[in-house]
Amino acid sequence: MYIKKRNIEIKLQNTINELEIESENMVELDFKKGDGILPAIAQDFKSGKVLMLAYMNSHAWRLTLQTGEAHYWSRTRGEIWHKGETSGNIQIVKEIIVDCDYDTILLKIEQRGGAACHLGYESCFHNKVDNNGEETIIGKKIFDPEKVYKNEFA
């Protein structure tokens, strides 16, 4: 995978999980906004389906670059979290795109295990709301969260 920004080229080698930086001018995200955390959208790199929205601080960002796997900042627990560490549903980063203000991250990922949502669904966006405000669950559960997390999140 290559990320290009001006004269910057970063190559993530997923097979050995090493980061090669071929320029000293690494992209600078604006972590000053949002009290040091930025929204990070995970999108399936093949289908384009939005799987989840999470947050990254600068440490989670660096870990994601270094490992080629998604790491986030848990606002609830106040700690770094390696996506899939408990469930096995890790996210392999295939491409990273940042917005024009450098304050939002789009990770195009390969979702291992089939589910990004801690409730067991493929996507966290599985609640469809109609014009009357009524909710319908769309999608199917991939796993039972009670068995995976032992009621830690569910």
- Read off the pLDDT of residues 9-24 as tens digits, 9 standing for 90 and up: 444 444 434 444 444 6
In a domain? residue 11: yes
In a domain? residue 58: yes
How many domains does the structure of the chain reveal?
1
- Evaluate the CA torsion angle 123, 37, 95, 65 in order and state its sign: negative
In a domain? residue 89: yes
User: Tokens 């067991």 appear where?
Assistant: 120
- For residue 144, the domain's CATH number is 3.10.20.810
User: Whole-model pTM?
Assistant: 0.80
Torsion angle, CA of 51/128/135/39, rounded to 10 degrees? 40
In a domain? residue 154: no
In a domain? residue 91: yes
In a domain? residue 8: yes
User: Does the structure show a pLDDT above 60 at 154?
Assistant: no
Instruction: Specify the pLDDT at position 151.
Output: 56
- pLDDT tens figures, 81-138: 999 998 899 999 999 999 999 999 999 999 999 999 999 999 999 999 999 999 999 9
Q: Which residues pair with residue 111 across a beta bridge? A: 91
- Round the average pLDDT of the chain to a whole number and report it: 86
In a domain? residue 103: yes
Q: Which domain holds residue 130?
A: 2-28+35-149
